């Protein structure tokens, strides 16, 4: 069973092809890295998989469901129920505390549970900073809040767009450890990264160039 | 269980209001100023014609009571009852006139008894040299009388005549004032109303009553109809030239005011809407993020709706208070008197201000919500 199947997906902005005829599959519980130069279409692909954007052509099957046929409202529901998002920029609501930011994801998903949200923050080592606003946190801490938020609803698939791009080494290994834990718990993970070190954590690495798959590397070999 | 969610979202809304203080203050200031202008202008729209109406009363009486049918005089008790039909705030003045044919050194004159206190109200345009009679032996003469008989202030004037009972009187009066109106008053001699009554040996009757009432033409006509119906011995007349010009000028003034008010209101509403819109547009990212977290459009719209309703309410409330102050200051500066406070204008202002903030807020929210979150989140 595959959590994700991408079939002949293209995305163009006018005459510019951000993605051209992409085909790939991700098995249930697998970890995939996406690498490639800037502008090669990594974020574009992640946004399409994450139900935040639609391809120009082709189909995406997420957990057995063709999401390219769905309306924006239905996409919102899928995103909420199946996907945990970690963004390239750490997007947090600026006027809510770390804890409230995590609880916001619970709120839109189903029901707030402060204890559970605190546990998630504890897991990313931020229990003591639960009442801090984003601007009172460092970049690494903000990214960890985003991870706590992404895992709070037990998503089947975690999408992380350069989760360590703005972090130092210490924070990077913290974040990677967290992803490993989630992976062991059974989540499927797709990570976009520029760093070969980070990419190596995955079972497979896909390299994009000019919107096409240039190479598929098996990291286990 | 659902209450937990409601509590949470209420808390986040409050956080949004408290932690985004400076932005909220800008939005609040905008709505409050808009509401101030709204409240103030609408109040003035009501008030200025009312105040101008009062000012117009300096043109003199606008209704006259005369005896009906074959009667020679009207009973003053009836007049009191008839004038009591008018609210005291609109009753500027009521002046009785009583006439008597007299002679002074064989020259015939008309002696008029009146209430000088009321004259200043119903005929403020009379030009008086000297002063009004205050003692019973004092008189005021018309300018024509003064010229004809070569009399001036301080002179003595003998006046002779007959009472109702045909008793003769011949008394000496002192001239304390000369009046000039350009009308029939110029050839009359004036004494206190009560003095004339004692000369006549008859009380509580008058030939003519002049009324000055602050009211629009329709109201005056209604009043006249009412008097005709209830007091058959009184024949009320509308002084057309006064009412006509008054109604015309007030009508033009009103339409001008409404025009200016509507233009100013539309402009302020656009300003308020723009302020609200910029404040919301700044939060496009937040909207995209909430969508990415799985919030339905409806839910996001609801959150913003609650916030804008709150802002509109508080802004409208503050604006009503300042608007009242604003109208009051203008009224005091221009007319020297207070405005009439219309209570229902407060809920009206709050409602309009809530409406404007909600519309201004939901327009950009709707726009942001319809875009795929990827686009909103990517834009720096
Ligand atoms: N909304 C858009 N409108 C026009 N062009 C776009 C849009 N979004 C992306 N692109 C273009 O599509 C291409 C792929 O962009 P994408 O963001 O996927 O690159 P990326 O691989 O994530 O790069 P980076 O490593 O710098 O994040 C780029 O050339 C970009 O300019
Ligand atoms: Mg990118």
Residue from A34, A44, A45 to probe ligand 1 pocket by mutation (most atoms less than 8 Å from CB): A44
Q: So what's the pLDDT on residue B333? A: 86
Q: Is the pLDDT of residue A92 over 80?
A: yes
Q: Is the pLDDT of residue A90 over 90?
A: no
SS3 B162: strand
Distance from the CA of A50 to the center of ligand 2, in angstroms? 13
Distances (CA, A) of A34 to A166, A174, A180, B297, B336: 17, 20, 17, 31, 78
Å between A80 CA and nearest CA of chain B? 4
Å between B268 CA and nearest CA of chain A? 29
Instruction: Please check whether residue A212 is in contact with residue A22, taking contact to mean a CB–CB distance below 8 angstroms.
Output: yes
Tens-digit pLDDT profile for residues A133-183: 999 999 889 989 999 999 899 899 999 998 888 788 888 888 899 899 999
- Look at strands A212-218 and A204-209 and give their pairing: antiparallel
Distance from the CA of A165 to the center of ligand 2, in angstroms? 10
Residue B305 to residue A141: CA distance in whole angstroms:
32
Tens-digit pLDDT profile for residues A38-82: 999 999 999 999 988 889 999 999 999 999 989 888 888 899 999
Q: So what's the pLDDT on residue A133? A: 96
Whose CA is closest to atom 7 on ligand 1? A13
Q: Is the pLDDT of residue B87 over 50?
A: yes
CB neighbours of residue B14 within 10 Å:
12
Cβ-based neighbours of B65, under 8 Å, separated by 6 or more: B74, B79, B82, B208, B209, B211, B227, B234, B235, B236, B237
Alpha helices by DSSP H, B57-142? 76-83, 116-122
Contact with chain A for residue B299, Cβ under 8 A: yes
Tens-digit pLDDT profile for residues A93-147: 999 999 999 999 999 999 999 999 999 999 888 999 999 999 999 988 998 999 9
Look up residue B351 and give its two tokens: 């409602």
Cβ-based neighbours of B49, under 8 Å, separated by 6 or more: B250, B253, B254, B257
Whose CA is closest to atom 1 on ligand 1? B375
Domains of chain A: 2-218 (3.40.50.300)
Residue B202 to residue B218: CA distance in whole angstroms:
37
* Alpha carbon of residue A135 to chain centroid: 23
Q: So what's the pLDDT on residue B364? A: 85
Percent of chain B scored above 70 by pLDDT? 99
Alpha helices by DSSP H, B106-205? 116-122, 143-149, 193-200
Residue A52 to residue A79: CA distance in whole angstroms:
8
Contacts of A41 in chain B (CB under 8 A): none
Quickly state the pLDDT bin for B204 (edges 50, 70, 90): very high
Å between B372 CA and nearest CA of chain A? 6
Quickly state the pLDDT bin for B1 (edges 50, 70, 90): low
Contacts of A92 in chain B (CB under 8 A): 289
Domain residue limits, chain B:
2-55+248-377, 61-238
Å between A7 CA and nearest CA of chain B? 21
Residues, CB within 5 angstroms of ligand 2 (ion): A 43
Distances (CA, A) of B203 to B77, B109, B134, B163: 11, 22, 19, 12
Asked whether this complex has an ipTM greater than 0.85, the answer is: yes
Contact with chain A for residue B289, Cβ under 8 A: yes
Distance from the CA of B4 to the center of ligand 2, in angstroms? 37
Look up residue B135 and give its two tokens: 């003692």
DSSP 8-state symbol, A92:
-
Whether B5 sits inside 8 A of A47 (CB atoms) is no
Cβ-based neighbours of B19, under 8 Å, separated by 6 or more: A94, A95, A133
Q: Is the pLDDT of residue B323 over 60?
A: yes
Across B4-8, average pLDDT: 91
Higher pLDDT, B47 or B101: B101
Instruction: Please check whether residue B4 is in contact with residue A111, taking contact to mean a CB–CB distance below 8 angstroms.
Output: yes
Residue B47 to residue B45: CA distance in whole angstroms:
6
- Name the residue among A204, A148, A139 with its Cα closest to residue A179: A148
Instruction: Please check whether residue B212 is in contact with residue B57, taking contact to mean a CB–CB distance below 8 angstroms.
Output: yes
Whether A80 sits inside 8 A of B293 (CB atoms) is yes
Residue A56 to residue A48: CA distance in whole angstroms:
10
Contacts of B4 in chain A (CB under 8 A): 111-113
Whose CA is closest to atom 19 on ligand 1? A39
Residue in chain A closest to B299 (alpha carbons) equals A108
Tens-digit pLDDT profile for residues B54-66: 777 777 788 999 9
Q: So what's the pLDDT on residue B369? A: 83
- What is the CB-side half-sphere exposure of residue B267 using CA atoms within 13 A? 8
Cβ-based neighbours of B120, under 8 Å, separated by 6 or more: B93
Cβ-based neighbours of A204, under 8 Å, separated by 6 or more: A30, A31, A32, A33, A216, A217, A218, A219
Q: What angle do CA B302, B304, B308 make, to 5 degrees?
A: 115
Distances (CA, A) of B206 to A126, B72, B112: 97, 9, 10
Whether B5 sits inside 8 A of A112 (CB atoms) is yes
Contacts of A157 in chain B (CB under 8 A): none
Contact with chain A for residue B301, Cβ under 8 A: no
* Range B230-268 burial, b when 16+ CB lie within 10 A, else e: ebeebbbebbeebbeebbeebeeebeebeeebeeebeeb
Whether A73 sits inside 8 A of B297 (CB atoms) is yes
Q: Which ligand is nearest to the CA of A45?
A: 1
- Look at strands B138-142 and B168-180 and give their pairing: parallel
Tokens 């709150």, residue located: B310
pTM: 0.73
Percent of chain B scored above 90 by pLDDT? 48
Tens-digit pLDDT profile for residues B334-358: 877 788 777 888 999 999 999 988 9
Largest distance between two CA atoms of chain A = 50
- Phi first, then psi: what are they for B99, rounded to 5°? -115, 150
Q: Is the pLDDT of residue B191 over 60?
A: yes
Q: So what's the pLDDT on residue B125? A: 86
Find the residues whose C-beta lies inside 6 A of ligand 1.
A 13, 16, 18, 36, 38-44; B 375
B130: left (phi over 0), alpha (psi -120 to 50) or beta: left
Q: So what's the pLDDT on residue B380? A: 45
């Amino acid at each position: 069973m595959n959590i994700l199947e991408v079939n002949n997906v293209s995305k163009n902005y006018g005459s510019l092809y951000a993605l051209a005829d992409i085909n790939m599959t991700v098995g249930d519980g697998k970890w995939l890295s996406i690498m490639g130069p800037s502008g090669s279409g990594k974020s574009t692909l992640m946004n399409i998989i994450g139900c935040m954007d639609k391809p120009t052509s082709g189909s995406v099957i997420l957990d057995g469901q063709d999401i390219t046929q769905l309306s924006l409202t239905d996409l919102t529901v899928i995103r909420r129920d199946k996907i945990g998002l970690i963004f390239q920029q750490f997007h947090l609501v600026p006027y809510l505390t770390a804890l409230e930011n995590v609880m916001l994801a619970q709120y839109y998903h189903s029901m707030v549970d402060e204890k559970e949200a605190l546990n998630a923050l504890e897991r990313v080592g931020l229990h003591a900073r639960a009442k801090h606003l984003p601007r009172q946190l460092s970049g690494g801490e903000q990214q960890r809040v985003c991870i706590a938020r992404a895992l709070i609803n037990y998503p089947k698939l975690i999408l992380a767009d350069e989760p360590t791009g703005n972090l130092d080494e210490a924070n990077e290994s913290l974040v990677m450890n967290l992803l490993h834990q989630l992976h062991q718990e059974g989540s499927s993970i797709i990570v976009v990264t520029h760093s070969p070190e980070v990419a190596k954590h995955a079972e497979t690495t896909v390299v994009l160039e000019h919107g096409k798959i240039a190479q598929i590397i098996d990291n286990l070999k | 269980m659902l209450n937990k969610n409601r509590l949470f979202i209420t808390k986040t809304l409050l956080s949004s209001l408290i932690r985004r203080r400076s932005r909220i203050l800008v939005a609040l200031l905008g709505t409050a100023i808009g509401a101030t202008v709204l409240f103030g202008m609408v109040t003035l729209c009501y008030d200025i014609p009312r105040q101008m109406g009062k000012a117009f009363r300096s043109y003199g009486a606008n209704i006259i009571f005369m005896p009906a049918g074959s009667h020679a005089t009207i009973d003053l008790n009836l007049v009191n009852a008839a004038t009591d039909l008018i609210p005291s705030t609109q009753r500027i003045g009521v002046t009785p006139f009583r006439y008597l044919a007299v002679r002074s050194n064989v020259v015939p004159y008309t002696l008029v008894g009146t209430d000088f206190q009321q004259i200043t109200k119903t005929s403020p345009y009379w030009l008086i040299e000297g002063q009004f009679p205050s003692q019973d032996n004092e008189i005021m003469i018309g300018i024509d009388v003064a010229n004809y008989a070569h009399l001036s202030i301080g002179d003595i004037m003998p006046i002779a005549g007959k009472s109702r009972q045909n008793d003769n009187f011949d008394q000496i009066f002192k001239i304390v004032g000369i009046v000039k109106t350009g009308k029939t008053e110029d050839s009359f001699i004036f004494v206190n109303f009560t003095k004339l009554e004692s000369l006549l040996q008859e009380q509580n009757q008058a030939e003519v009553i002049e009324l000055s009432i602050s009211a629009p033409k329709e109201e005056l006509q209604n009043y006249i109809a009412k008097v005709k119906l209830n007091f058959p011995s009184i024949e009320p007349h509308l002084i057309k030239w006064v009412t006509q010009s008054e109604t015309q000028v007030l009508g033009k003034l009103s339409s001008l005011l409404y025009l200016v008010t509507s233009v100013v209101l539309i402009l302020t509403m656009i300003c308020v809407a723009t302020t609200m819109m910029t404040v919301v547009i700044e939060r496009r990212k937040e909207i995209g993020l909430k969508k990415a977290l799985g919030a339905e459009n409806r839910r996001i719209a609801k959150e913003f709706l609650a916030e804008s309703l709150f802002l509109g309410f508080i802004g409208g409330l503050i604006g009503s208070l300042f608007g009242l102050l604003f109208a009051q200051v203008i009224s005091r500066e221009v007319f020297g008197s207070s405005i009439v406070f219309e209570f229902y204008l407060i809920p009206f202002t709050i409602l309009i201000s809530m409406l404007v903030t909600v519309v201004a807020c939901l327009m950009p929210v709707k726009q942001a919500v319809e875009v795929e979150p990827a686009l909103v989140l990517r834009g720096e």
